[in-house]
Structure 1
Amino acid sequence: MIKAIVFDLDDTLYPQEVPFTKAIKKVFPQLIKEELTDFFKFFRTISDELYEQTKQKNGITKSEMTTLRLTKAIEESFDLQVTEPLIASFESEYNRQLNQIRLSDSLKEVLQKLAKKYKLGIVTNGYTQRQELKIEVLKVRDIISPENILISEKIGIEKPDRRIFDQMAKVLVCEPRELLYIGDNYKNDIVGAKRAGWHAWWFNHHQRRILEEIIEIPDKEIRHFGKLAEELSLLVE
């Protein structure tokens, strides 16, 4: 029986594409009429790859990652040159847009209902300061206890390492079989949770494909933002 539900943050509790797209179109008005979903996915892929390099010995710095991810994504996708002032403008505008993210009304309502029946938590990869900002803006601490929120940089472990899931299980005082994790990243969220013995829902709203060599199967796959609140509401009926 499920006793606790834990969520990923980015692209699960809010659509990360929205603030990203607004920032890109503000800084690069040439792209104002472009449909940028595929570009956003490409940017996320590059960003994830460069993030891995920041953790390697003699790897790149956070500042270099910030510069390289936008430069590579823009120059490989569009015939545009990226300068340092444009990078600074994008980061500034992206942070401004992140300050405006909100839980959808339907998700906020269902989370409030879930909190009456289940323990709730968040496990997110990322830099502490940035993730704390998003958590604050989304006002999820009004629903989820702060001690039930784990940020990878803060605790020194990140998904898909099962130790971060094990630590959350201890925080929630639950057995793995009593825990459900919901996230959009197959490797970090689904593989990590399933290998830790949890139930896992794949919030695959970008409709990505599973790599053939990975065999962990999610307990449920949800493909649209509107369906997430709907599926969660079934847990409180």
Structure 2
Amino acid sequence: MSLALVLDLDDTLYPERAYNFSGFRAVGRHLAAQRGISGFADCCVALFESGARGDIFDQALARLGVTADVAELLTVYREHAPEITLFEDARTLFERVRGKLPLALLTDGYAAVQRRKVAALGIADHFAARVFSDDEGREAWKPSPLPYLRVMNLLAQKAEEFIYVGDNPAKDFVTARKLGWQTVWVCRPGAVHQVEAVAPGFEADIVIESLTGLPWHRYGL
């Protein structure tokens, strides 16, 4: 059987919090240059580490006692060139499978943002197919079957030949399993999407803490 390895991006190939912090720094530089406001990035990091999500910019501005156009700050955040690097086990994976298994990327999130991440990591050429679910609109984000079916069409392989490796059981695996794919949850300590309990039907076939834990012997590698 000819297998195909499909990879998620955030917290699978690189630490997602590194992107968050990179974005905070970009917005902090913007505010310092445009408004003379200092300490914004550090405030955002502290809020993030305390568990804040979603309205971090509003909270940071309130803590600093200043106002700003949050929509403008979000644009700076989303359009910045991220300072991110691969997990070391992701580098090892790319070296191990080069020329042996076809690779595909399947990722959610704003397509332009995700493409900038791929460019910053320098990994585009590793993939025979790159599917950004947002290209088909927000309704095509996982767990929609659309991006999975697109991967299957691009690689032209049978469902049972696909292995999907992702970090978020709330959306990554339920559709893949329904389609007949094999699934692997890389449950990294410190990941942004921490899950205490996985809902029935949303589990992965295998759970690992690092890509080095992939059962390579099953894949003939």
Cα distance in 2 for partners of 1:23, 1:159 equals 24
Are 1:155 and 2:142 counterparts?
no
Cα distance in 1 for partners of 2:15, 2:46 equals 18
Q: In structure 2, what residue type is equivalent to 1:208?
A: V
* Preserved CA contact (<8 Å) 1:182 1:201: yes
Cα distance in 2 for partners of 1:210, 1:81 equals 38
CA RMSD, aligned part only? 3.1
Distance 1:190 1:32, change over 3 A: closer
Q: 1:200 maps to what in 2? A: 183
Distance 1:162 1:21, change over 3 A: same
Distance 1:135 1:23, change over 3 A: closer
Are 1:231 and 2:218 counterparts?
no
Q: 2:148 maps to what in 1? A: 165
Pick aligned residue for 2:196 from 185, 203, 209: 209
* Preserved CA contact (<8 Å) 2:186 2:208: yes
* Preserved CA contact (<8 Å) 2:182 2:205: yes
Q: State the shift of 1:160 in Å.
A: 0.5
Q: 1:182 maps to what in 2? A: 165
Q: 1:84 maps to what in 2? A: 68
Cα distance in 2 for partners of 1:155, 1:33 equals 32
Query: When the two structures are superposed, what TM-score results if normalisation uses the length of structure 2?
Result: 0.74
Identity %: 23
1:118-158 per-position Cα deviation (integer Å, ceiling 9, x unaligned): 1100111122221211111111122113xx11111213422
Query: When the two structures are superposed, what TM-score results if normalisation uses the length of structure 1?
Result: 0.70
| DSSP 3-state at the match of 2:15 | coil
Pick aligned residue for 1:218 from 185, 204, 210: 204
| DSSP 3-state at the match of 2:6 | strand
| DSSP 3-state at the match of 1:189 | coil
Q: In structure 2, what residue type is equivalent to 1:219?
A: D
Pick aligned residue for 1:104 from 87, 90, 110: 87
Q: In structure 2, what residue type is equivalent to 1:153?
A: D
Q: State the shift of 1:117 in Å.
A: 1.5
* Preserved CA contact (<8 Å) 1:183 1:202: yes
Aligned length: 200
Alignment of 1:15-94 (within 5 A): 15-24=15-24, 27=28, 28=40, 31=43, 34=46, 36-39=48-51, 42-43=52-53, 46=54, 69-71=55-57, 74=59, 79=63, 83-84=67-68, 88=72, 92=76
Cα distance in 2 for partners of 1:101, 1:195 equals 33
Q: In structure 1, what residue type is equivalent to 2:13?
A: L
| DSSP 3-state at the match of 1:169 | helix
Q: In structure 1, what residue type is equivalent to 2:213?
A: E
Unaligned runs of at least 5 residues, structure 2: 29-39
Q: 1:139 maps to what in 2? A: 122
